[in-house]
Amino acid sequence: MESLIRIYGDPVLRKKSIPVDVFDSDLEDFALKLKEYMYKYDGIGLAAPQTGHSKRIIVVDPTAGEKEPYILINPEIIYSSEEKSDYDEGCLSIPEITLTVNRPTVISVRAKNEKGIEYTLDKVDNLLARVLQHEIDHLDGILFVDRASPVRRQLIASKLKKMAKSHH
């Protein structure tokens, strides 16, 4: 079965996504599709660019289906803690690679839901904070491998090159 997820090397993953300004049934349908794909591929977050759409939309569910997933449209981080922590991250767009990434431990995010209603996730931490930062990075064309230490990136450079070649 053909994967609907764009893989490292696809130019859409490096583009800065365009803000959403039309909140209609098409957008609601697209948000539902993103949720479906996230669960289908066993992800805990998914950004629109990973499906080939350069729109500022992410879905996040660190509970893997135990709670209702968050749909965040035009999300922006409005607070990041000074304190940071390391955690091993992976990505549906960079299969079979995990790297330790250092990110703020606590963040606040302002976004809109699929109906256009603004809300804030205030001072979230742990896995939710991590996944939100990872997915919001996708909207800016930043991948988790970009945030890993240069030494760790060097260790996977050839794997990434191969991946980019085979998915182009």
- Rounded CA-CA distance 60/35 in Å is 8
- Rounded CA-CA distance 137/123 in Å is 18
What residues have CB less than 8 Å from 118, skipping those under 6 apart?
110, 111, 112
Is 82 tagged catalytic? no
Q: Which of 28, 66, 89, 135 is catalytic?
A: 135
What residues have CB less than 8 Å from 9, skipping those under 6 apart?
163, 164, 165, 166, 167, 168
- Rounded CA-CA distance 45/167 in Å is 22
Angle, CA 144 vertex, CA 92 and CA 138 arms, to 5°:
70
Give the chain's end-to-end CA distance (angstroms, integer). 18
- Rounded CA-CA distance 138/15 in Å is 9
Query: Which residues form the catalytic set?
Result: 135
